[in-house]
């Protein structure tokens, strides 16, 4: 009796394996809902950058909104060398800078003289 049960279980397992590898499977597939998703971070420029580190989600269009409150000309430009961005920051005026989030990594930004620094982390 035990042998018969073992044999039966063996046959069921073999049938399952055959079905698993050769049978037709219905795959439930759901398409991702694509919305006009965006991400943005406000950065205040005053004696440095606040925040000085920004984490962005990969693949979602991103905008960094810089507002310079500092009168010093040191911070009147912001440079993202990895993205080829060198943007003027007029005082008390919001400057939106679009960031390419297609590649994950860490990207530094700096003032025009490379004295103050910030970092974008895309992951």
Site of interaction with Cu ion (CB under 5 A): 74, 111, 113, 115
Kindly state the helix (H) or strand (E) to which residue 20 belongs, with its residue range. Answer: helix 2-22
**What is the nearest approach in angstroms of Cu ion to the Cβ of residue 71?**
13
| Cβ partners under 8 Å of residue 32, min gap 6 | none
- Shortest Å distance, C-beta 34 to Cu ion: 40
DSSP at 102: S
Least Cα distance to 66 among 118, 9, 10, 1 occurs for 118
Of 72 and 93, the one with the shorter C-beta distance to Cu ion is: 72
Closer residue to Cu ion (CB): 41 or 74: 74
CB of 110 to Cu ion, least distance (A): 8
For Cu ion, the closer of residues 55 and 115 by Cβ is 115
């Amino acid at each position: 009796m035990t042998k018969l049960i073992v044999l039966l279980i063996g046959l069921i397992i073999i049938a399952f394996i055959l079905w698993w590898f050769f049978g037709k499977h219905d795959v439930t597939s759901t398409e991702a809902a694509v919305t006009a998703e965006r991400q943005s971070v406000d950065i205040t420029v005053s004696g440095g950058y606040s925040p000085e580190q920004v984490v962005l989600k990969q693949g979602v269009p991103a905008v960094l909104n810089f507002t310079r409150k500092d009168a010093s000309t040191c911070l009147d430009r912001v440079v993202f060398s990895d993205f080829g961005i060198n943007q003027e920051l007029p005082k008390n005026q919001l400057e939106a800078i679009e960031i390419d989030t297609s590649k994950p990594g860490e990207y530094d930004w700096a003032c025009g003289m490379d004295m103050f620094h910030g970092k974008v982390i895309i992951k």
